[in-house]
Copies of this chain bind each other. A is one copy, B any other.
């Protein structure tokens, strides 16, 4: 363990310097107050831009050269093309060919399609990634392959870091399914339509240089202006930005597993019994198979009761669109579309709104949507007996998932984690999670196929669930049951080297990921 590590407020040893920058250890919930002012990029002038508004360049390479691409720069991308993104790999291929070194890649998320980036991490084109490292990139990083330390932030934490100047974006390279010559752009149309471009907003507002990359140039003005052209330096017109069939989320169908369906059913009965599910409630759940099943079951309850959900916050899915279109949900607020029905809906339904991530999730704002949400359904790779949650590493120590909006969503009024008691004979409930991504005070309920555990801090929920007939247990009881079934599980051999840092929503470091010898 390096000398410059200290124990933070959740008892984890974390470095006070990461990639040569000061890092603040997590101080506990609502303890860290930001100082100083929001970041400001250099002031541009229209003198330097064409008066006819035409910023089109017929090559991404030229656009990058015009932006002054050089060693050590921070390059940002968004993840709305998901696993169908063709742009990010191309940026680093170009940088590699130009002999550029030590870039920082700052995506709003990465996907398995970005596996080619490993070569550019190996050869020094990229120094490190600040952003999720799903799948292959995470495995490579956990094995110590990355030159610098990976930094993982929530979607809201990413906005906070950009707004506050912790991450200074030199060049934002923003794939746009449709754009006009001036750089106004939308995700709603074009061969790679992806619905919304919400996660690109901090990038175009705060980057020094902004390149919009499109394969679908439309007449000026392109509406809705999800990217605003007056912040854009150039529009790179290329052949193809994405693979449409891979743009939708990996999991977009309701689970067929009987255990998962049981978890979903228990969750739906729990939110009904405790009164969280009510006329006018605000709901959010993810795109996983269990979450979708919960969405479906709660939809049926609302219909039966004649109630409406006032709003759902997306990641939007076909199941939310169904609720909107049959009148069971009044508004969908959307930060990203998970399937093609959601892409269709946002361009057709007036009550399906693009919703700014600054408002939903940025902790350094004057309030967030997320703290108003009544019901928040989230996943986890592990939970511990103190209700701490992990979404980044598996119990084998490998960092395989990004945080997404998970930490931000923990601020909802009622946070429920429907999880299986074990996966591949590895218990999900642990004495201590491998990586603390969210502190236990914010996690209210764990629903498993063998019972429901309520955080003792939520006496109100313990009272509300009494007499419901639901299988309420302590978390220790659930853990004992899992341990009985799975037997003794061997501990992974985790090294000393910090390979990843997990930022909390306020920019402090809540935990780190250490290397695993391959």
A98 to B223, CA, bound (A): 46
> Is A121 on the interface with B (CB-CB < 8 A)?
no
CB-based contact A49/B372 at 8 Å:
no
Could you tell me the dominant secondary structure of chain A's interface residues? loop
Mask, A209-234, CB within 8 Å of B = 1, is 01000000001110101001111110
CA distance A225 to B366 in the complex (A): 15
Among A30, A46, A353, chain B packs the most CB atoms within 10 A around the CB of: A46
Q: A220-B372, A230-B362 are in contact. Are A163 and B367 (CB under 8 A)?
A: no
Instruction: Indicate if A371 sits at the interface (CB-CB under 8 A).
Output: yes
Q: Does A105 contact B (CB under 8 A)?
A: no
Chain B residues near A256: list those with CB within 8 A: none
Residue of B nearest to A38 (CB): B40
Which chain B residue lies CB-closest to A356? B228
Tell me how far the C-beta of A32 lies from the nearest C-beta in chain B, rounded to whole angstroms: 8
Cβ-defined partner of A51 (8 Å) among B41, B183, B353, B372:
B372
Whole-angstrom distance between the Cβ of A398 and the nearest chain B Cβ: 33
Q: Does A359 contact B (CB under 8 A)?
A: yes
Q: Do B47 and A33 touch across chains, with their CB atoms under 8 A apart? A: yes
Partner of A37 from the list B35, B41, B183 (CB cut-off 8 Å) is B41
Most buried by B among A49, A365, A506: A365
Cβ A46 vs Cβ B363 within 8 A: yes
With both beta carbons as reference points, the residue of chain B lying nearest to A208 in the complex is identified as B37
- Taking a contact as CB atoms under 8 Å apart, the answer to whether B371 and A46 are in contact is yes
**A367 near B53: Cβ-Cβ < 8 Å:** yes
- Whether A223 and B51, one on each chain, are in contact in the complex, defined by CB atoms closer than 8 angstroms, is no
Q: Which residues of B contact A219 (CB under 8 A)?
A: 310
Instruction: Given A228-B359, A371-B51, check contact A366 B33 (CB 8 Å).
Output: no
The answer, yes or no, to whether A72 is at the interface (CB within 8 Å) is: no
A333 CB–B CB distance under 8 Å? yes
Give every chain B residue within 8 A of A356 (Cβ-Cβ).
225, 228, 230
Flag if A53 contacts B372 (CB, 8 Å).
yes
Q: A388: CB under 8 A from chain B?
A: no
Among B221, B230, B311, the residue within 8 A (CB) of A365 is: B230
Name the B residues within 8 Å of A50 (CB-CB).
367
B40 touches A372 (CB 8 A): no
Residues of B within 8 A of A311 (CB): 221
State whether the Cβ of A423 lies closer than 8 Å to any Cβ in chain B: no
Is A364 positioned at the interface, with any CB of B under 8 Å from its CB?
A: yes
Residues B221 and A46 in contact, CB atoms below 8 Å apart: no
Do A365 and B30 have beta carbons less than 8 Å apart?
A: no
Is A319 engaged at the interface, CB distance under 8 Å to the other chain? no
Q: What residues of chain B lie closer than 8 Å to A364, measured between beta carbons? A: 43-46
5 further contact pairs, Cβ within 8 A, besides A223-B331, A225-B356: A34-B43, A38-B42, A44-B364, A45-B506, A230-B365
- Enumerate chain A interface residues (CB-CB to B < 8 A): 30, 33-53, 55, 163-165, 182-184, 210, 219-221, 223, 225, 228-233, 310-311, 331, 333, 353, 356, 358-359, 362-369, 371-372, 411, 413, 506
